[in-house]
Structure 1
Amino acid sequence: MKNHTMRRALAAGAGLALAGTLAACGGGSETGGGGGEGATADEIEAALQEGGELTYWTWTPQAEKQIEAFEAAYPNVDVNLVDTTGTAESNQALQNAIAAGDGIPDVVQIEYQSLLQFQLPGQLTDLTEYGFDELESLYTPSTWGAVSQNDGIWGLPQDSGPMAFFYNQAVFDEHGVDVPTTWDEYLEAGKALKEADPDVCIGNDTGDPGLTTSLIWQAGGQPFRTEGETVTIDLADEGTTKFVDMYQQVIDADILCDIPGWTDEWYAALNEGTIASITFGAWGPGILEGSVPDGAGDWRIAPMLTYDGTPVNAENGGSAEAVPADAPNKLLGVGFLKWLNSSDESIEAFMETGGFPATVKQLESDEFLTYESEYFGGQAINEVLAGGAENVVEGWQYLPWQAYANGIFADTAGQAWLGETSLADGLAAWQADNVQYGTDQGFTVTE
């Protein structure tokens, strides 16, 4: 591998700049994406063969191995790797670079939930002009839907996060409680575990906006719709109401540990077995294997809990890579992105260290599906996780200012977890604040 640069992208300021607002400054067209260029597949390949230098911003740990393989395939291209540490830091740094008109990367990782924040102000390249519409069949419908909105293709899926039910079989066995398969059974199992041992919770949740939106999605809700500058918010639609009716019972039963996720206390509780299950995305095995060593051999993975036995699922997390509209080496960036997220060599390097693919070929491969995890007691976990990807409800959209919305969740909907309001009223308050915010940013917001 060449001596490519790896450094930290430092975000100026403490808060997250909201790139998706219509008031945001920066490059790109006024119609929602960089346009007027484009190239054929042959022209993209010729640019890669000729070579040059490009900059790639990402926080994925697989990037160095992928770049090593890319530079071996295209020795005339030098990729400068910038570790942006995480989504919030990356979004902040990207918005700062766009505002300054300097230091813009050629390829950047962006979470699916943040794509609209950069796409609507015209800060991303429409990859349709580079023939990327021909790649649609490579990806799962839900991830392709996330990158292809508003009459354009704004990135390529890197990974996917179909939800599943992760549970500590030893804890359920110890207390003689059946592992649930439906949300009704989850409620009853949570009560039984709590009665058997007051220190044990079936799960944890202190009001996580990402989990909440995923569970609304799984219930069939589509509360956020964006068409150009018009945004509709309805957190009382049929699917959201279905989720609320179920989850209010979970909150009221006091069966969840009051422990925020991703904290030292959370990892300790998972190691001790006081949190008996988690519902999160297909990237979860790496989290448990790397940070919950005491659970080795005890944990298992089951399909996502259902309402009535019908397998219906949602995504939880996941990212794409995109080419900024004002990328200085755009054609090289487009070529690198195409290789990064569609070549077998790159995707296999991504998967070797725990990445969960968005590509149908890898998800359906025998090697992937038959892999048996020692941590999960020899279970062929990918059969479950890939099966979950097939059942994701299509058509979900995030708000164009989802990062801001998540930031105000605790003060509105999050009050339901504190017993200060009902979940329905909390979501109504969250809706009202988002309607006001979107209106203030120049969107036409309807309810």
Structure 2
Amino acid sequence: MRTHTTRRLLAALAVVSTLTLTATACGSDASDGGGAAGGPKDVNAALEKGGKVTVWAWEPTLKKVAEDFEKKYPNVDIELVNAGTGDKQYTALQNAIAAGSGAPDVAQVEYYALGQFAIGKSVEDLAPYGAERYGTTFTPGPWNAVTQDKAIHALPMDSGPMAFFYNKKVFDKHHIAVPTTWDEYVQAARTLHKADPKIFITNDTGDAGATTSLIWQAGGHPYKTDGTDVTIDFTDEGTQKYTATWQKLLDEKLLAPVSSWSDAWYKGLADGSIATLSIGAWMPANLTSGVASASGDWRVAPLPQWTKGDKASAENGGSSLAVPKAAKNKELAYAFTEFATTGAGATTRVAQGAFPATRADLESKAFLDTKFPYFGGQQANQIFAESARNVAPDWTYLPYQVYANSIFNDTVGKAYVTPTKLTDGLKAWQDASVKYGSDQGFTVNK
């Protein structure tokens, strides 16, 4: 196996695709990924013949998976390439597809970005390779994200069901109960900030992914897609629940004006001035490595609810592995994709800290009973697993969500730094997204 990093000057991403991320395909369970599909496109002969498979991905857990795959199939060489993270890789992939050369055999694609490659038919439908048998292998959120009718555009690699991370040391010091509703969350924010003006309930300078995830949890459906017909409406009931609550936090200056992943963010998480995070279940590894000094201070709880007694959750992050139409070794590419996302490959990645998209790993006793020293010995995976089971259904991303997210701070972001109201910022985001979609040939809000 060879690994290397490709760095390029990337042109602006041309978005020419769409996907409705709401349908669920069906199939029988399977657990032995890697060359046993037995579908119309049997990959066994390709594995025996061998060859090279180029994989574009930034996920570090794939290194061990690639080594295991090569050991099992010695005639196959897996070449891992880091072509950039997220949008940078998507730009490189789009450019390679447009140029007709240089595309990988397998590409890591986040769920929110998959649609742009699906509508342009630039990724393989994996159903003919036998992927439909994994319909019950994966949890609903990730599986819904990669399927459309009977087409399977990728296989889920991981997931990001949300949870509530809080600094127990800070909460105990100020006698704050863990909030179970967002109204209680606002009150906790007020109490903490009044007790110590240096403490903020959380940080937020405007983040598209966090915003859409909380709207999702609130039952919002601002995006609807039917072929090339797109509807964008940030006045729906779920979105209004979110904006009403978040506007209070903005008006009362209860959110730390600190960007996530910055040095100031890590410092705030370490010293307790940022007291909570509502984020994906992949966060523990980042706390352990980036905020080591606060080990033992933090705990995990379910997300606060918009309606008392509910258990709704949402996804925040997560990626799939897709096979581009331009792949040179499609059968081998599918074999590696299957191996890396199911069975032993998935378990190997979970053992390295990836959060599972597979039911078997998510429900395993070893996973559920894992104690996290960072969280004072808490069995946090039980909370994450429950969140995965309660992800609100039927969420849809825009077919050009990558572009929409790129203009979030130019529109909604103004509500964080000016008197602009959050509802007005979302309206500006909606208008800009409508114009862009119409310019790209979609029928938007008509």
Query: Same fold per TM (> 0.5)?
Result: yes
The one-letter amino acid of 1:83's match is N
Distance 1:41 1:385, change over 3 A: farther
Shift, 1:369, TM fit: 0.1
In structure 2, the residue matched to 1:56 is: 55
The one-letter amino acid of 1:9's match is T
- Write the deviation string for residues 30-85 of structure 1: whole angstroms up to 9, x where unpaired: xxxxxxxx972782123213211111110001111010111111111111111234
Secondary structure at the residue paired with 2:310? coil
Instruction: Output the CA distance in 2 between the equivalents of 1:445 and 1:9.
Output: 37
Is it true that 1:11 corresponds to 2:8 in the alignment? yes
Instruction: Output the CA distance in 1 between the equivalents of 2:381 and 2:291.
Output: 19
Secondary structure at the residue paired with 1:412? helix
Shift, 1:388, TM fit: 0.4
Secondary structure at the residue paired with 1:61? coil
What's the RMSD between the two structures over aligned residues? Answer: 1.7
In structure 1, the residue matched to 2:331 is: 331
- The answer to whether the 8 Å contact 1:139/1:358 transfers is yes
Secondary structure at the residue paired with 1:75? coil
- The answer to whether the 8 Å contact 2:18/2:115 transfers is no
In structure 1, the residue matched to 2:193 is: 194
In structure 1, the residue matched to 2:244 is: 245
In structure 2, the residue matched to 1:66 is: 65
In structure 1, the residue matched to 2:131 is: 132
The one-letter amino acid of 1:11's match is R
Instruction: Output the CA distance in 1 between the equivalents of 2:251 and 2:150.
Output: 43
In structure 1, the residue matched to 2:303 is: 304
Instruction: Output the CA distance in 1 between the equivalents of 2:16 and 2:439.
Output: 14
Structure 2: gaps of 5 or more residues: 20-36
In structure 2, the residue matched to 1:225 is: 224
Instruction: Output the CA distance in 1 between the equivalents of 2:224 and 2:284.
Output: 32
- The answer to whether the 8 Å contact 1:202/1:255 transfers is yes
The one-letter amino acid of 1:310's match is D
Secondary structure at the residue paired with 1:242? helix
- The answer to whether the 8 Å contact 2:18/2:118 transfers is no
In structure 1, the residue matched to 2:98 is: 99
Shift, 1:18, TM fit: 3.4
Is it true that 1:258 corresponds to 2:257 in the alignment? yes
The one-letter amino acid of 2:73's match is Y
In structure 1, the residue matched to 2:235 is: 236
Shift, 1:368, TM fit: 0.2
Instruction: Output the CA distance in 2 between the equivalents of 1:266 and 1:100.
Output: 40
The one-letter amino acid of 1:299's match is W
In structure 2, the residue matched to 1:422 is: 421
Secondary structure at the residue paired with 1:437? helix
- Write the deviation string for residues 373-428 of structure 1: whole angstroms up to 9, x where unpaired: 10110000100001100000111111111111111111211212224321111111
Shift, 1:348, TM fit: 1.6
Instruction: Output the CA distance in 2 between the equivalents of 1:338 and 1:293.
Output: 35
Shift, 1:150, TM fit: 5.5
Instruction: Output the CA distance in 2 between the equivalents of 1:141 and 1:206.
Output: 31
Is it true that 1:316 corresponds to 2:313 in the alignment? no
Shift, 1:157, TM fit: 0.4
In structure 2, the residue matched to 1:402 is: 401
- The answer to whether the 8 Å contact 2:70/2:76 transfers is yes
The one-letter amino acid of 2:160's match is G
The one-letter amino acid of 2:10's match is G
- The answer to whether the 8 Å contact 1:302/1:384 transfers is yes
Instruction: Output the CA distance in 1 between the equivalents of 2:78 and 2:305.
Output: 44
- Write the deviation string for residues 202-240 of structure 1: whole angstroms up to 9, x where unpaired: 101011111000000000011112222111111111211
Secondary structure at the residue paired with 2:373? coil
- The answer to whether the 8 Å contact 1:225/1:397 transfers is yes
Of all paired residues, the percent bearing the same amino acid is 47
Instruction: Output the CA distance in 1 between the equivalents of 2:291 and 2:10.
Output: 34
Secondary structure at the residue paired with 1:206? coil
Instruction: Output the CA distance in 2 between the equivalents of 1:121 and 1:391.
Output: 32
Secondary structure at the residue paired with 2:378? coil
Shift, 1:16, TM fit: 4.1
Is it true that 1:279 corresponds to 2:296 in the alignment? no
Shift, 1:89, TM fit: 1.8
Instruction: Output the CA distance in 1 between the equivalents of 2:369 and 2:376.
Output: 14
- The answer to whether the 8 Å contact 1:203/1:275 transfers is yes
- The answer to whether the 8 Å contact 2:10/2:92 transfers is no
Is it true that 1:384 corresponds to 2:383 in the alignment? yes
Question: Which structure 2 residues correspond to residues 122-161 of structure 1 after superposition, within 5 A?
Answer: 122-149=121-148, 151-161=150-160
Between 180-189 and 345-354, report the one with greater CA deviation. Answer: 345-354
Instruction: Output the CA distance in 2 between the equivalents of 1:386 and 1:41.
Output: 35
Q: TM-score, normalised by structure 2?
A: 0.93
Instruction: Output the CA distance in 1 between the equivalents of 2:347 and 2:38.
Output: 27
Distance 1:422 1:428, change over 3 A: same
Instruction: Output the CA distance in 2 between the equivalents of 1:155 and 1:21.
Output: 14
Is it true that 1:346 corresponds to 2:345 in the alignment? yes
The one-letter amino acid of 1:182's match is T
- The answer to whether the 8 Å contact 1:107/1:321 transfers is yes
Between 303-312 and 373-382, report the one with greater CA deviation. Answer: 303-312
Distance 1:353 1:215, change over 3 A: same
